[in-house]
Amino acid sequence: MLISANLGVCGSCLRERAEEALPIALRVHARRRSDFGLPPFPPKSKSGVACRLCVNECMIPEGERGYCGLVENRDGRLVRLRGTFSKGLLEWYYDPLPTNCVAAWVCPGCTGAGFPRYAYKPNAEYGYFNLAVFYAACSYDCLFCQNWTFREHARSLKPVMSAWELADKCNERVSCICYFGGDPAVQMAHSIKTSELAIRKAEKWKGLMRICWETNGTMSWPLLKRAALLAYRTGGCIKFDLKAWSETLNIALCGATNRRTLDNFSRLKVFIRKSPDPPFLVASTLLVPGYIDAEEVRSIAGFIADVDPEIPYSLLAFHPHYVMDDLPTTGRRLALECAAAAKEEGLVNVNIGNVHLLADY
């Protein structure tokens, strides 16, 4: 059995002895978040002001910030420090297509899916770019986060860019935008506005502008629905990172419940095209050794199959990062067992990603 000494509790105990095991994990979250000046837990002050943008539904006391670090209670009203139309906390770059994103194996920009309506070429769009937008804040606190340094930006609230400035980075060689992070869930207003502006720009030169979100899925349903409409209309996709099936395990590894994520994923069924080319909804799970095993994946896959068995599902090899940097990379045997379990649950599009990271055990 593999156990992260830095976490201090095993996967089995988190599932079977949650009352004893979960507080151990939560103390690790609190300790590490304090290093970045972030609240240890989502504030739940009875006298606080409610923020409803994500699953945490913080009740923020006077003079303090929400879990993401982007919302503050000033004189009894919420002030959104970042994530508004005019102030997105982010970094961006041009990513040449085909990219290595989670949905690369099924997306128009990398495979030609949906050509010619949604892709410039019947295969990979060489010569075109994805505008990659990294939002530097999150509604989760994943202890295995590969981009964990974003927490420094959440503390400094820099760099900042408006939706108009970001949309201006789109040109005739940019065929898609992908929002990731951190997570776009806590800056959805900024990403939605940017998308609307970018789509209008592309319409002027009669070009494509696919819009995609890669997310933990914890945003409010009204915001997700607006994003889904933009992705659906443009041939983009919503990529859900389903971290775990067990709620206790999700809280232990990521600091928050996964109930909103699963509910949002199910609700997106109404957007799935009758013809899944290109696929609108994509799912992925990181195979964290000792914690996310074949049975956990089996439960996730069964849930996905109930929504639609044709939803592409990618199982991603883990690389040690952040708090859980004392674990090995994912073993090849585990990856194959998880893929088999997902297929046994009825999924027809299962992929193993980051194959180069798989270890021989």
The amino acid at 98: P
Residue of 328, 325, 351 lying closest to 338 (CA atoms): 351
Q: How far apart are CA 77 and CA 107, in angstroms?
A: 42
Domains of the chain: 11-80 (no CATH), 88-357 (3.20.20.70)
Please classify residue 57 by burial: count the beta carbons closer than 10 Å to its beta carbon, then call 0-12 exposed, 13-18 middle and 19+ buried.
Answer: middle
End-to-end alpha-carbon separation of the chain, Å? Answer: 13
Identify whether the C-beta of residue 179 lies closer than 8 Å to the C-beta of residue 214: yes
206-226 pLDDT, tens digit per residue, is 999 999 999 999 999 999 999
Burial class (CB in 10 A: 0-12, 13-18, 19+), 34: exposed
Could you give the CA distance from residue 54 to residue 261 in angstroms, rounded to a whole number? Answer: 10
Secondary structure of residue 110 in the 3-state scheme: helix
- pTM, 2 dp: 0.97
pLDDT tens for the 361 residues of the chain, in order? 899 999 999 999 999 999 999 999 999 999 999 999 999 999 999 999 999 999 999 999 999 999 999 999 999 999 999 999 999 999 999 999 999 999 999 999 999 999 999 999 999 999 999 999 999 999 999 999 999 999 999 899 999 999 999 999 999 999 999 999 999 999 999 999 999 999 999 999 999 999 999 999 999 999 999 999 999 999 999 999 999 999 999 999 999 999 999 999 999 999 987 667 899 999 999 999 999 999 999 999 999 999 999 999 999 999 999 999 999 999 999 999 999 999 999 999 999 999 999 999 9
What pLDDT, in 10s, does the model give residues 36-75?
A: 999 999 999 999 999 999 999 999 999 999 999 999 999 9
pLDDT at 275: 64
Cis peptide bond N-terminal to 98, omega within 30 = yes
pLDDT at 276: 73
